[in-house]
């Protein structure tokens, strides 16, 4: 007796929905059957009128098998490619007339799932030498030229020189068959940060009108505007830039010291729960003994203020009646009872200190 719960072709158990629909084959076998019919010579002869389109679809199927695409996707891709090749037959005399623009238009307006078909079909056609896909590097190179164009005028010459020197290095590395030649995207990222510095200088220090006038303190100030995690990397890149600028006689001195990199982890680990408890106890203990230290620690530990935010607190920002400190660009800090006691103790100590010195 035939088991109604098993696929009549491969014998695997059928899902409930298939059984409910009174179907006798699993999805896989259905796909395979559909695909077999689709690429059978008699079917191909009936849907295509040119030999090259039949050839392409057959080869495309083999290509999909080779890249290991699963059956259901392969069926979908072949279905779609069939339609594309029927259009191609109508529009072109030979497959080599198929081009990227034409393909893009055929794919336009189609459902999103088409995108997967599009990628594999384009790769296949490129492998067959039929279409040429745009080189990713061409796009980056265009971007680099635009970056230099957008660089402030008095700073652009060095950017051009930097770019050319790095491109030459890349060329040499490629011709020497180096495993990891300098990437164009790296050159682009470097230029990006240098141009950011040039724009920042113009905005913050309008008296600095060229690379030659940049001082060490400008560099430090600029580095502080960056995210701490990439500050060190940018510092090194800037040193390389200034060294090159001096060699090329764009500047007369290098406005920064090449001190060795600090071996700090790029990201600080958060305190574990035991350390947090210890800090909380220390703050608690310091209310009377070291109220200033305790209060400053509390601003970091409990209220999450940065050093810069703490530095910019003025006396007028402290509102004792409302028990809060107004902080620029963020909600006010609402003081805890311990904070108020620390503040009170600190102000008492200050008064005492002042009295002592006046004696």
Instruction: Compute the distance between CA of residue 164 and CA of residue 170 in angstroms, rounded to an integer.
Output: 10
Residue nearer to Zn ion on the CB measure, 32 or 286: 32
Residue nearer to Zn ion on the CB measure, 72 or 128: 72
Main-chain phi, psi angles of 182, to 5 degrees = -55, 135
Q: Is 254 in the site for Zn ion (CB under 5 A)?
A: no
Residue with the two structure tokens 């502080």: 224
Piece of the chain touching Zn ion by CB under 5 A; list 7-15, 219-227, 238-246, 328-336: 7-15
Helix (H, G, I), strand (E, B) or coil at 71: helix
Query: At its nearest, how many Å lie between Zn ion and the CB of residue 79?
Result: 20
Query: At its nearest, how many Å lie between Zn ion and the CB of residue 9?
Result: 5
- Positive/negative CA dihedral, 216, 219, 221, 224: negative
Residue nearer to Zn ion on the CB measure, 30 or 201: 30
Instruction: Compute the distance between CA of residue 26 and CA of residue 17 in angstroms, rounded to an integer.
Output: 11
Instruction: Compute the distance between CA of residue 110 and CA of residue 188 in angstroms, rounded to an integer.
Output: 35
Q: Is 319 left (phi over 0), alpha (psi -120 to 50) or beta?
A: beta
Distances (CA, A) of 186 to 63, 162, 175, 228: 34, 12, 19, 20
Query: At its nearest, how many Å lie between Zn ion and the CB of residue 1?
Result: 19
Q: Which helix (H) or strand (E) holds 6?
A: none
Query: At its nearest, how many Å lie between Zn ion and the CB of residue 64?
Result: 20
**Residue of 10, 67, 145, 349 that binds Zn ion (CB under 5 A):** 10
Residue nearer to Zn ion on the CB measure, 15 or 307: 15
Q: Which residues touch 203 (CB under 8 Å, ≥6 apart)?
A: none
Site map (CB under 5 A) of Zn ion, residues 11-50, x = contact:
---------------x--x---------------------
Number of residues this chain uses to bind Zn ion (CB under 5 A): 5
Residue nearer to Zn ion on the CB measure, 24 or 231: 24
Q: Is 9 in the site for Zn ion (CB under 5 A)?
A: yes
**Helix 153-175 crosses helix 184-204 at what angle (to 10 degrees)?**
160
Query: At its nearest, how many Å lie between Zn ion and the CB of residue 23?
Result: 11
Query: At its nearest, how many Å lie between Zn ion and the CB of residue 41?
Result: 24
Q: Which residues bind Zn ion (CB under 5 A)?
A: 7, 9-10, 26, 29
């Amino acid at each position: 007796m035939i088991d109604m719960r098993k696929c009549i072709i491969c014998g695997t158990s059928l899902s409930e929905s298939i059984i409910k629909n009174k179907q006798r084959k699993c999805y896989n076998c259905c796909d395979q059957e559909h695909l077999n019919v689709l690429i059978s010579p008699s079917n191909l002869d009936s849907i295509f009128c040119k030999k090259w389109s039949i050839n392409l679809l057959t080869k495309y199927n083999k290509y999909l098998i080779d890249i290991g695409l699963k059956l259901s996707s392969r069926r979908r891709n072949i279905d779609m490619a069939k339609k594309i090749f029927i259009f191609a037959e109508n529009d072109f005399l030979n497959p080599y007339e198929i081009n990227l623009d034409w393909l893009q238009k055929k794919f336009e307006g189609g459902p999103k799932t088409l995108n997967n078909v599009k990628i594999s079909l384009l790769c296949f056609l490129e492998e067959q030498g039929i279409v040429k896909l745009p080189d990713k590097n061409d796009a980056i190179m265009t971007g680099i030229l635009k970056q230099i164009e957008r660089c402030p005028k008095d700073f652009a010459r060095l950017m051009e020189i930097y770019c050319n020197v790095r491109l030459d290095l890349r060329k040499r590395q490629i011709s020497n068959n180096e495993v990891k030649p300098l990437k164009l995207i790296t050159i682009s990222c470097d230029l990006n940060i240098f141009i950011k510095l040039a724009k920042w200088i113009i905005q913050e220090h309008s008296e600095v009108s060229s690379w030659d006038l940049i001082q060490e303190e400008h560099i430090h100030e600029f580095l502080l505007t960056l995210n701490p995690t990439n500050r060190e990397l940018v510092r090194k890149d800037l040193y390389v830039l200034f060294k090159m600028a001096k060699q090329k006689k764009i500047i007369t001195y290098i406005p920064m010291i090449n001190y060795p990199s600090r071996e700090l982890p790029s990201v600080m680990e958060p305190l574990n729960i035991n350390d947090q408890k210890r800090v909380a106890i220390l703050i608690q203990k310091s209310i009377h003994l070291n109220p200033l230290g305790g209060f400053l620690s509390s601003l970091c530990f409990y209220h999450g203020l940065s050093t810069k935010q703490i530095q910019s607190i003025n006396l007028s920002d402290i509102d004792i009646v409302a028990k809060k400190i107004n902080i620029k660009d963020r909600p006010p800090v609402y003081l805890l009872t311990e904070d108020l006691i620390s503040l009170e103790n600190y102000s008492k100590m200050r008064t005492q200190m002042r009295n002592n010195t006046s004696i």
